[in-house]
Amino acid sequence: MFKQTAVKQCIVLFLSLAGAACSSTDNRARNTNRSALPPSPMPQARLQAPRNIYVPPVFDEYRPQQPSYSSPLRGYEEYAPEKNYRDSYTSAIERQPPAVVEVLKPKPEIQARSVEPLATVVQREDFSKNELDIDPFASVPDREVLSVSRQGPAAPPPPRSTKPMSRAAKALSLQAKAESAVGRNDAAINKVERALRIEPQSPLLWNQLANLNFKKGRYDQAIGFARKALPMASGNRDLVQKNLDLMSKAAVKTGNTRVFKEVLDYKKQNF
Amino acid sequence: MALLVAIVIGAVVAAAYVLKLDDQVKTQFAGKLWALPARVFARPLELYEGQTLFADNLEKELRLLNYSKIKGKPSGTGQFSRNGNTFVIYSRGFRFAEDNEPERAFQLTIKKGRIASLKHANNDDPLNLMRIEPLLIGNFYPSHNEDRVLVQLDEVAPMLLKGLIAVEDKNYYDHVGVNPKSIMRALLANAKAGQTVQGGSTLTQQLVKNFYLNNERSIKRKVNEATMALLLELHSTKDKILETYLNEIYLGQNKKRAIHGFGLASQFYFSKPIRELAVDQIALLIGMAKGASYYDPRRFPKRALERRNLVLDIMARESVITNADAETYKSQPLHITANAPPSVSPFPAYLELVKSQLQRDYQEEDLRSEGLLIFTAMDPIVQLTAEKVLSKRVASLERQQRMKRGKLNGAIVVSTVQDSEVLAIVGGRDVRYAGYNRAMDAKRQIGSLVKPGVFLAALESPKKYTLSSLISDGPVKVRLSDGKVWEPGNYDHRDLGRVTLEDALVKSRNTPTVRVGVTLGMNKVVEKLHDLGITSEIPPYPSVLLGALELSPLEVQQMYQTIASGGTYTPLKSIRFVMDSFGQTLKRYPLNVKQVATPEANYLVTYAMNQITKRGTAKYLSRSLPAWKNSAGKTGTTNNKRDSWYAGFTGQHVASVWVGRDDNKETGLTGGTGAIKVWSDLFKVLPTRPLKPVRPGKVRFVKVDSDTGLLYNSNCGKSVTRPFIRGTQPRKYRVCVVATPMEETVPVPAE
């Protein structure tokens, strides 16, 4: 594919030289202010400003594209290219979106699976009947399950939000709290990151990290960490609320209105 | 009169000369003395109850750190004993920037691959969490290639100081830099013997000789030395000079690098820090101060032994040690390590990544001479395991494909999901040499590895695409802007009719991917790929949809890292923080997240990629890995089977594997027959948490028909439970058409 491109560009360059040679003989009398060669078809830097006296080159590819909203041919799907003239002048030829022409093989009737003449349109309220509020990954054990046969069916592991933190992670979390109380936020963040390596799925730790980043003034990061904590805290309403509040506070500081919408959406969906 | 003038002029000239020497002494001594290399450390092994750790891996780590395995209780730092799965370890401790890890004697027991109990060895204080000191994995040396481990006077055993003074300069604390009595004595001895047998230099003179001047032996040089020694004593204290001596004296050669100072010499000859040396080892080092090359214990062991015993005798004579002790030590062999430690790092591929990250923030010269301490996230156990796995499996694949030996090669990158820290980089089969680092520098076409990115971009428009959307698998033609038409086909040249989007990803179908990508818009797909972390330029050609995009394994790793962590982009990092030689933190690299894909779309893609390991092109994993090690991933194969890729993740680790030939010829391996085996070998032995993606609130599972993707009709068809974003699930039930046997002329739609 790339070789083709290089060869194509060589051919175009050659043609451009040929074109220049031909056209300059025609216009010699006109005395136009044109350089010896037309602009090279190699991709030019986008930072170049277009020249004031622009003489368009003589190739089809560089002709300004009219949006080809031609009548759609039956049976074909055509992709309308965008009106991005600048790009088509200053960049390589290929930077136009391609058109898809689908050729569907004529399918024998036997294979028609999409015959749905009597499909009933189900009303909106019925959809929630079909929804299963399950989490198939919840039955994956947290770690290696060695002897299943003896113990019988293992109890499903407790949901993430209510699992107690291991002692090591709790110790680090407390140390981090102490450090941030003294004002050493960087050291506190270090400790919480260390705790997260021990216990990555703990919503309390992510929440603590979000708070510390908020205190440091890193509001975007605070939003990101609080957002990460949300699904992990899904059973614990207070914790979810705390995270959402933190996201709103940080969004106020950065003026990020999309986050407000996200928080509202979340509240609508779940509360 | 003339004589007087001559004397005065001579005195003035002498005074000027002395002042010049004085100036030299002052500037050399007052300014920074040594350029220290930057040291790069791996991660410190964290120990806490419940930590997954295999006993053999713990022993391997301790051995890498040069801990000696002894029987019975460890008495000093740097020792451990193992009794089955119970370890008693006396750790050395380490000073990190904010928190100090003290040296500890502790005991731990490992049961079923986890630490079952961790406590202090001597008392009953609780031990929640601790770290073993990090392994040194490499150095960035200053331009003149010197290296030192600085020691302070109060850090060395007093025995060493007393012994040194007793042997080299008995009256060190009494003279003023030059000891005329010893010079006289030496002259007499040399005159008697007819050659130089004794030296009368004091320690100060030796320091001056070592530090400032080179090895000329003329009268003029000796006079210079003596003057400078006197001046040095004027400007400094005895203790400071002794400390400088300890760190400056030449004590050996490690290929290109000179070993200066007792701290580094103790590592070089005994692989131990200086405070763990025994008396006979100290005596050997003292003996080498006189002539390190002449008394090299590895090249001239007999000479070294004699010299050491002589030193022990002198020490006994000067009452530094008792006579009985001296006799005991003299009968011991030289307790040196048989081989010198390697002069280059054993992990050049990882160091290359560290260097590239450091160069963004530090100047080259500062990097090499300020004595920075760089703490990385590398896990030496994972690194060594990955190296072994790659070299074994690639050799076996090579034999299986009947290729010429040494032609097939590969690369692995391993990182953690949560913090996006690179744990291991394997640049090829030949790991110990700083050769071609394929993991970072070999850009190859990624093939189908790009498909999760394309479908992720599609699923971000949930009203248009869901996992159930039917897409035609038939031949597709794409008209390019230059008028040409591109007709990609499926790899098996089959047409499965219409496939659901999930199946298109799970079975890695080409034509549906092209349809989805082009209909969605190449700009959207390219933007999503950039969001996922690919920084290389991605041309908006439709062939990119099938992976005509050249990336290195590290870039592929970044893309799959973003998907593995729920759609949050965190740049892969190797350095955690950088400390200066005084213990201050210079720079931290904290966790940084940026949400680049909606959690819901990311969950759907992760679900589909998990299905790939269960019923798709990566089915091999469901056989080779235990069922609880749930993972997700994607195979990748390029044209003519030139490159074999597999990138996948569990709940804790992400790994990308590439297998191929350096000369880019065909290997006959696909992603599902080549790279996946390396990945599976690695994850069979790597302790990792299984994949358990957290389900976002907006995602619900719905029972749909497996063929049509519509709601499941219990009368016909097979059901499969598939996740959907709420509100986008199919609204129609599948209609069952019952075949009536009467109508035989009209073909009946099959069920």
| Of B555-564, B603-612, B689-698, minimum mean pLDDT range | B689-698
- φ/ψ of B95, rounded to 5, equals -100, 100
Q: Determine the pLDDT at residue A145.
A: 59
Q: Determine the pLDDT at residue B742.
A: 56
How large a percentage of chain B has pLDDT more than 70? Answer: 96
Whether the CB-CB separation of B590 and A193 falls below 8 Å is answered with yes
- Mean pLDDT comparison of A159-173, B484-498, B620-634, highest-scoring range: B620-634
B264-280 tens-digit pLDDT: 999 999 999 998 999 99
The span from the CA of B427 to the CA of B437, in Å, is 4
Contact A130 B626 (CB under 8 A): no
Reported as a pLDDT band with limits 50, 70 and 90, residue B584 is: confident
* Chain A contact for B485 (CB, 8 A cutoff): yes
A-contacting residues of B 572-591, CB under 8 Å? 577, 585, 588, 590-591
Reported as a pLDDT band with limits 50, 70 and 90, residue B723 is: very high
Dihedral class, residue B11 (left if φ above 0, else alpha if ψ from -120 to 50, else beta): alpha
| Of B42-46, B61-65, B185-189, minimum mean pLDDT range | B185-189
Identify the H or E element spanning B426.
strand B422-426
Whether the CB-CB separation of B553 and B678 falls below 8 Å is answered with no
CA distance B672 to chain A (A): 24
Amino acid at A118: L
**Nearest by CB to B481, which of A98, A114, A187?**
A98
Catalytic-labelled residue, pool B266, B369, B420, B448: B448
Q: Which of B637, B609, B671 is nearest to B445 (CA)?
A: B637
Task: Check whether A16 has a pLDDT greater than 70.
Answer: no
C-alpha triplet B353, B356, B358: angle, nearest 5°: 110
Q: Which residues pair with B374 in a beta bridge?
A: B40, B578
Task: Check whether B744 has a pLDDT greater than 60.
Answer: no
Nearest chain A residue (CA) to B421 = A197
Pairing state between β B94-95 and B100-101 = antiparallel
**Nearest by CB to B479, which of A2, A101, A228?**
A101
Residues from chain B that touch A120, judged by Cβ atoms under 8 A, are 732-733
On whether residue A215 sits in a domain, the answer given is: yes
Residues from chain A that touch B697, judged by Cβ atoms under 8 A, are 230-231, 234, 266, 269-270
Mean pLDDT of chain B: 89
**Nearest by CB to A104, which of B472, B542, B577?**
B472
Q: Which residues pair with B257 in a beta bridge?
A: B254
Mean pLDDT of chain A: 68
The span from the CA of B139 to the CA of B39, in Å, is 5
Q: Where are the domains of chain B?
A: 45-133, 141-330, 410-685, 697-751
* Chain A contact for B711 (CB, 8 A cutoff): yes
Task: Check whether B159 has a pLDDT greater than 70.
Answer: yes
CB neighbours of B557 closer than 8 A, spacing ≥ 6? B413, B415, B422, B572, B647, B654, B655, B656
Task: Check whether B308 has a pLDDT greater than 80.
Answer: yes
| Of A153-167, A169-183, B664-678, B723-737, minimum mean pLDDT range | A153-167
**Nearest by CB to B541, which of A94, A115, A232?**
A94
Contact B46 A197 (CB under 8 A): yes
Residues from chain B that touch A186, judged by Cβ atoms under 8 A, are 585, 588, 590
* Chain A contact for B482 (CB, 8 A cutoff): yes
Please report the number of interchain residue pairs, chain A to chain B, with beta-carbon separation below 8 angstroms: 233
Q: Mean per-residue pLDDT for B79-92?
A: 94
Reported as a pLDDT band with limits 50, 70 and 90, residue B565 is: very high
Q: Determine the pLDDT at residue B650.
A: 95
Residues from chain A that touch B700, judged by Cβ atoms under 8 A, are 131-133
The span from the CA of A215 to the CA of A221, in Å, is 11
The third-level CATH classification (topology) of the domain covering B410-685 is Beta-lactamase (3.40.710)
A-contacting residues of B 154-213, CB under 8 Å? none
Reported as a pLDDT band with limits 50, 70 and 90, residue A39 is: very low
Reported as a pLDDT band with limits 50, 70 and 90, residue A140 is: confident
**What domain range is A250 assigned to?**
166-270
Whether the CB-CB separation of B413 and B559 falls below 8 Å is answered with no
A271 or B595, which is more confident: B595
CA distance B544 to chain A (A): 10
Q: Which of A139, A81, A207 is nearest to B521 (CA)?
A: A81
Task: Check whether A42 has a pLDDT greater than 70.
Answer: no
Contact B542 A122 (CB under 8 A): no
| Of B80-84, B212-216, B418-422, B427-431, minimum mean pLDDT range | B212-216
Instruction: Quickly list DSSP for B637-690.
Output: E-GGG-EEEEEEE-SSEEEEEEEEETT----S--TTTTHHHHHHHHHHHS--PP
Q: How many CB atoms lie within 10 A of CB B143?
A: 10
Amino acid at A82: E
Reported as a pLDDT band with limits 50, 70 and 90, residue B214 is: low
| Of B250-254, B335-339, B431-435, minimum mean pLDDT range | B431-435
CB neighbours of B294 closer than 8 A, spacing ≥ 6? B300, B303
Q: Which of B533, B350, B572, B516 is nearest to B439 (CA)?
A: B350
Q: What is the separation, in whole angstroms, between the first and last Cα of chain A?
A: 53
Residues from chain B that touch A179, judged by Cβ atoms under 8 A, are 98
Length of chain A: 271
Please report the ipTM that was assigned to this predicted complex.
Answer: 0.83
Q: Determine the pLDDT at residue B91.
A: 94
Task: Check whether B241 has a pLDDT greater than 50.
Answer: yes
Residues from chain B that touch A159, judged by Cβ atoms under 8 A, are none
CA distance A28 to chain B (A): 31
The span from the CA of B673 to the CA of A247, in Å, is 46
What 3-state DSSP class applies to A80?
coil
Reported as a pLDDT band with limits 50, 70 and 90, residue B394 is: very high
Q: Is B644 a residue of the active site? A: no
Instruction: Quickly list DSSP for B677-690.
Output: HHHHHHHHHS--PP
Contact B519 A168 (CB under 8 A): no
Residue A61, both tokens: 């590819």
pTM, entire model: 0.80
Q: What is the DSSP-derived secondary structure letter of residue A53?
A: S
Catalytic-labelled residue, pool B61, B133, B146, B168: B168
A-contacting residues of B 712-751, CB under 8 Å? 721, 726-727, 729, 731-735, 737, 747-750
Q: Determine the pLDDT at residue A244.
A: 93
Q: Determine the pLDDT at residue B738.
A: 67
B207 or B369, which is more confident: B207
* Chain A contact for B462 (CB, 8 A cutoff): no
Length of chain B: 751
Q: Determine the pLDDT at residue B641.
A: 92
The span from the CA of B35 to the CA of B369, in Å, is 5
Amino acid at A171: A
Task: Check whether A70 has a pLDDT greater than 50.
Answer: no
Whether the CB-CB separation of B415 and B574 falls below 8 Å is answered with no
Contact A98 B750 (CB under 8 A): no
Q: Determine the pLDDT at residue B191.
A: 79
Q: Mean per-residue pLDDT for B284-294?
A: 90
**Mutation for A interface: B546, B598, B692, B724, most A CBs within 10 A:** B692
Reported as a pLDDT band with limits 50, 70 and 90, residue A161 is: low
Reported as a pLDDT band with limits 50, 70 and 90, residue B147 is: confident
B582 or B454, which is more confident: B454
CA distance B216 to chain A (A): 53
Q: What is the DSSP-derived secondary structure letter of residue B696?
A: P
The span from the CA of B213 to the CA of B210, in Å, is 6
**Nearest by CB to A102, which of B476, B591, B701?**
B476
Reported as a pLDDT band with limits 50, 70 and 90, residue B149 is: confident
Q: Determine the pLDDT at residue A109.
A: 42
**Nearest by CB to B697, which of A97, A140, A234?**
A234
Residues from chain A that touch B417, judged by Cβ atoms under 8 A, are 200
Q: Determine the pLDDT at residue B639.
A: 85
Q: Mean per-residue pLDDT for B108-125?
A: 90
Residues from chain A that touch B599, judged by Cβ atoms under 8 A, are 227, 231
Contact A100 B693 (CB under 8 A): no
Contact A160 B591 (CB under 8 A): no
Residues from chain B that touch A135, judged by Cβ atoms under 8 A, are 695
Q: Determine the pLDDT at residue B223.
A: 82
Q: Mean per-residue pLDDT for B352-378?
A: 85
Q: What is the DSSP-derived secondary structure letter of residue B339?
A: S
Q: Is B365 a residue of the active site? A: no
On whether residue A106 sits in a domain, the answer given is: no
The span from the CA of B461 to the CA of B38, in Å, is 49
Reported as a pLDDT band with limits 50, 70 and 90, residue B362 is: confident
Four-way CATH pick for B45-133: 3.40.50.720, 3.40.50.10860, 3.30.2060.10, 3.40.50.300: 3.30.2060.10
Q: What is the DSSP-derived secondary structure letter of residue B700?
A: E
Q: Mean per-residue pLDDT for B530-539?
A: 94
On whether residue A101 sits in a domain, the answer given is: no
The span from the CA of B477 to the CA of B468, in Å, is 24
The third-level CATH classification (topology) of the domain covering B141-330 is Penicillin binding protein transpeptidase fold (1.10.3810)
CA distance B34 to chain A (A): 30
Distances (CA, A) of B192 to A193, B197, B218, B386: 72, 10, 20, 66
Q: Mean per-residue pLDDT for A82-93?
A: 39
CA distance B330 to chain A (A): 49
Reported as a pLDDT band with limits 50, 70 and 90, residue A158 is: low
* Chain A contact for B332 (CB, 8 A cutoff): no
The span from the CA of B610 to the CA of B629, in Å, is 11
Residues from chain A that touch B48, judged by Cβ atoms under 8 A, are 166-168, 198
The span from the CA of B526 to the CA of B556, in Å, is 15
Q: Mean per-residue pLDDT for B635-652?
A: 94
B666-702 tens-digit pLDDT: 999 999 999 999 999 999 999 999 999 988 888 999 9
Residue B34, both tokens: 């040594």
B180-190 tens-digit pLDDT: 888 788 778 77
CA distance B271 to chain A (A): 30
Residues from chain B that touch A235, judged by Cβ atoms under 8 A, are none
Task: Check whether A75 has a pLDDT greater than 50.
Answer: no
Q: Mean per-residue pLDDT for B241-247?
A: 90
A70 or B270, which is more confident: B270
What 3-state DSSP class applies to B51?
coil
Nearest chain A residue (CA) to B592 = A221
CATH number at residue A176: 1.25.40.10
Reported as a pLDDT band with limits 50, 70 and 90, residue B195 is: low
| Of B82-91, B305-314, B332-341, B410-419, minimum mean pLDDT range | B332-341
On whether residue A249 sits in a domain, the answer given is: yes
Whether the CB-CB separation of B314 and B166 falls below 8 Å is answered with yes
Contact A98 B479 (CB under 8 A): yes
Q: Determine the pLDDT at residue B607.
A: 96
Domain count, chain A: 1
Q: What is the DSSP-derived secondary structure letter of residue A159?
A: P
A91-130 tens-digit pLDDT: 344 444 555 555 444 444 443 344 444 444 444 455 567 7
Q: Mean per-residue pLDDT for B479-500?
A: 88
Residue B669, both tokens: 């391996």
On whether residue A206 sits in a domain, the answer given is: yes
